[in-house]
Amino acid sequence: MRDNVEAQGEQYLTFPQRELFDKIGARNFVLETDAWGNFIMTGFDYGSARDWARFGLLHLRDGVWRGQAHPAGGLGEVHLHAGAGRQEPSATAVCSG
């Protein structure tokens, strides 16, 4: 993704906020990069509960927000699975891609 963004002459480090989070109204996200400057979104990502809810809805809607397709539609899948050994309804959302 980094190569594609930079090839278009855009700033890679502002890309997620500009092209994804701003468009879904998520204003409080902070994404950290790995040692090489790549966004990996596997644990060092911070946002308000409302922002995470918007991001989750975007994934559940296959990357469509208010009738418009967004980049997150192709970034991964949302998987729901029941908690191990639980009888009551329980689910954990895991984003992977």
Q: What pLDDT sits at residue 72?
A: 52
Q: What pLDDT sits at residue 85?
A: 53
Q: How far is Cα 20 from Cα 46, in angstroms, rounded to an integer?
A: 15
Residue that has been written with the tokens 């729901």 in this structure: 80
Q: What integer is the mean pLDDT of 4-33?
A: 90
Q: What pLDDT sits at residue 52?
A: 92
- Which of the two residues, 78 and 39, has the higher pLDDT score? 39
25-74 per-position pLDDT tens digit: 999 999 888 888 888 877 788 999 999 999 889 888 888 899 888 765 44
Q: What pLDDT sits at residue 28?
A: 92
